[in-house]
Structure 1
Amino acid sequence: MIQIRNAHLHGRDGLHDIEIDGDRFGRVLPAGQGRGEVLLDASGALVGPPFVEPHVHLDTTLTAGEPRWNASGSLWEGIAVWSERKQTLTRADVIARATEVLRWYAANGVLHVRSHVDVTDPGLVALDAMLEVREQVRDVVNVQLVAFPQEGVCSFDDGAELLEEAARRGVDVIGAIPHFEDTREDGVRSLEIAFRLAERHGLLIDAHCDEIDDEQSRFVEVLATLARRGGLRERATASHTTAMGSYNGAYSYKLQRILARSGINLVCNPLANLCLQGRFDAYPKRRGLTQVKEMLAAGVNVAFGHDDVMDPWYPLGTAFPLQVALAGIAAAQLTGAAEIDEAFAMVTSRAARVLNLTDAYGIEPGRPADLVVLPAASPRDAVRRQTRPSHVISRGRVLAETPVTPTRLTWPGREPEHVDFIRERDRGMTPGAPWTPRTPTD
């Protein structure tokens, strides 16, 4: 038995000790009552379950500029560039790039990742490579794989057969891209194919849905209805849904009811879609994001994803969820105190609901001993100061450590001092800087 002492748990008064028995959580007790060797003393820092990435494309990561840059910055040219790069894929290439970005995720405290994998490749090179990566990292990071038909199910030669083969090879989730199909009828049929596959193989659904600025793209209502009538409900997700940014008020009101009844999840990818959408607009130029505030208010579960890390669609990124949350706050205007806390939940507990993690997530007795230690007073403080975890614990073991190193400033007329970007009146609420947790070797 080991323990983490003096942890600040969001939503609970006082400090707590967290017992860990092997790779599982034991009791959560008031500070000073825990038993076992001290793994680390959190010293009042914010401790919570790990970050969750609900939407990324690990097979495309780290390919920005290969074989050429996306000059227009549009979604469509990104797909064209990737189609060229896809011709040169090898197993070793995909494994190396995906593994490196998973290392970045783990260092940032992300221990659950859902990755879409392009299966519009007759050789399924990327899929086989990602299946191997999933097994290689399973002891530290939980990876879910989505069979993603980047170039369509009905509009790509043998698209439906490739999706079926991906299910047989062992993906966790079935995908679709209805707005990219040649006709609306093909889009609806592609979703029906995806749902039949998911139901037959006992898998989840996560479709790229309405990722376009066309106000007539309304496949999310089809996905939600299929999920409700077929019983998949919260096991189904619509990703992107950027066309919602162009829907009129009357239809939006109707859609909120449809989505809330269905129980499906939405994933918004603010970093990528702020860059990709509105490329055909002059001014005013649309933000091109889903209706985050409105859907949250309607009771729909919404999460934030990174989507791309240095690839043809988004050439930046370090796989840090709080950067995504900050962008989402600005883009969706989530600036109320409670809304900022919700943005933090959108890269933690709400994202965990997208992955359907249920009792595999959270600091509760018997659950996997996965957590992050954030030297911050609250989720709001962590988002504002973009606080990286000082410690990442995976299955009861320290996986990553980041020293807390405050800035040293020499200001005219004052002695050199640390600058920690904390407002004076909040100082008593925040762990002091420099902040150094104690370990058993101290």
Structure 2
Amino acid sequence: MMKKNYYQKMAVLGVLLLSLFGFQKYIDKKTDHFPNIQFVSESLPTEILTEFDPNELDENQWQKLGFSEKQTATILKYKKIVGGKFLSKEQFKKCYAISEEKFSQLSSFILLPETNLEAKSGNSGFKNYENKTLSITRKFNPDQLSQNDWENMGFSEKQAAAILKYKSFLGGSFVSKEKFKECFIISDENYAKLAPYLILPAKTPANFNPYERKLNTQKTKIQITPFDPNTLDTAGWMALGFTEKQANVIVNYRDRNLKGSFKTLEDIQNCFVISPEKFAELKPYIKLNSATMVKNSDTKKTEFKQQEKTDFAKTDMNSVTFKQLLEFGLDEKSAGSMIGFRKKLGGFMTKEQILETYNIDKELVQKLLSIAPLDNSKVERYSLVDAPEEWLKNHPYFKYSADKIIFYRISNPDDKKIWKLLKTKPEYEARMRLYVK
């Protein structure tokens, strides 16, 4: 009987001890401090955001977009989990390190289809922008580079626009190598290549304020004094408010097309890069001096004839000459590239092709294309079955598929079957079909 009571007491004591232990664990659990997960919600100024492909950004670039190191690591890890590439905004949004607020801020700038379905169907109109190798040959001041200059260096059109947008945000100057490096579109790898060539101070001034700088830039007005347009060089025209490229166009127009000098105010007004508003601003200060005008070498004044100007509204882009392109304002490199590309193609089929030409001033060419017509009726076109072998192997759009076409058409003399067998990318096929009957 005593043993029975003893065991009962021990059992009750054990239950009490277990209860106390469990309660203590509960108390301890209640007082645990869980780590706070914080999402960086600070918004970047909208003026420095531009379109980007999240698949191209490295760790440093994600942090420049406002993400912490941990968030960046999570995003990159998530990208690996989904197959090493984000397919759509829908998929990107599911990464838990990206808050609703942050996604809404970035969404309109993301170069991805909206949904996975669009990505798989290929109907989103989304294009992949391939990274190019940078080509840098000399030291340069990045403040002086145009959109076209950045593209020629190896950046895509979107990346070049982003760099210029960032410069504008800083007040019109990159200020220092430090600030230049902070441009989120420039990866650490590309910055390492660019840094030795940058003509910029290494450090940012302690009192630097981009907003104050922008305000001062907007307030500053160009002080114009009377000038002789025939004595100004490129720097002189830039001092009047023109960009370096515009200034070069003006000097080339004067020296080449007008044989060395402006003779009348109308000559200046007719220069394409001088807008009516700018001409009205400059007109009161223009002082034409007969002493600085280049005289015609022909002594017989009766035989003097002013050079006939080209009416570009009636000039076909498939017959425009090198000299006419220079007359419009293109430099020799741009004009030569356009004529050379046209010759390789056998003629342009669309105006979009002209803008694909390397080493051209796209802004100036776009203005030309808005005026000039394009007649493609005389451009040679063939079927895949009948196209001459030499033509296939030399044409820029066909040469990489030429051997396959020649091989396939031996046993399949039918264009539809050959297209199926080629299995080229849709964008390549679209270009090739421009020259197919």
TM-score scaled by length of structure 2:
0.21
Highest Rg: 1 or 2? 2
TM-score scaled by length of structure 1:
0.21
The one of the two structures with greater contact order (alpha-carbon pairs below 8 A, sep at least 6) is 1
Q: Which has the higher helix share?
A: 2
